[in-house]
Structure 1
């Protein structure tokens, strides 16, 4: 089955403060990781474009791994570079919201995690946890052999692998070939 899958979500950063602040660093901290437990997987490839800047967090490995920084996801000169090394986010004092498309990538572990955003304002450096309190973000990995796997094969349609009827799954043979070639 596929490895290194990513699930996107939108992250909106804003501040209603009268004074400005500058976010100059973000780190993903894994709170807990476990084996994936999904019995059914529906793999829909990304499509279309998104006007939000993209951030990729590589969350592969377990919770004991070092915190991760975001990388620029979008095509262009900065793609693959650490976002916060080359960019700052200004908020408050009438600045508009900063909206990102976040794509955390996992391999064989489902992880619960949060973001520590480092920022400075007129009183000095600070850190803000996102989401606040003890809430976490969950990124689920695809199990090695789920009971049911549905995948879209470009130009062919749906393929179905596992414990289900193959009726209507025109691309099952292509999907099986693709998955047998991937490393476990």
Structure 2
């Protein structure tokens, strides 16, 4: 097990910034090697709060989950299978996007090394490098938005989840 950080070495401002941006306590404990009681005490004592945007996002996510849960409970077996299939697709797509972000960062670093090493000298080379960076950004962050629409079918409710670009 990893040793806990000495209290003098803890950068509480960085931890607080991560917390206020929405990082969970479990993620913070792992990232900063903190005990649960140390972190919880600090959050409570100093009155840390999530940013308004994070609070709004968490509430909206909770509301969406409640609606999906309600609709799922009223759905037929076929509709339930479709809901589960679409949720699994969203999860898979999220994992792919995270992987793409990781790859894009690695390629971006290589391209930037090329700029720093003089590999890109002409305007054509620079344009090719910046074009590659834009392509990598698009691949890593396609920013699909997920819309959850309801379609009423007699007594049954089905959730329709669509990706909209």
TM-score by length of 2: 0.22
Greater strand proportion: 1
Q: Which structure exhibits the higher relative contact order, with contacts defined as CA atoms closer than 8 Å and separated by 6 or more residues?
A: 1
Greater helix proportion: 2
TM-score by length of 1: 0.21
Larger radius of gyration: 2
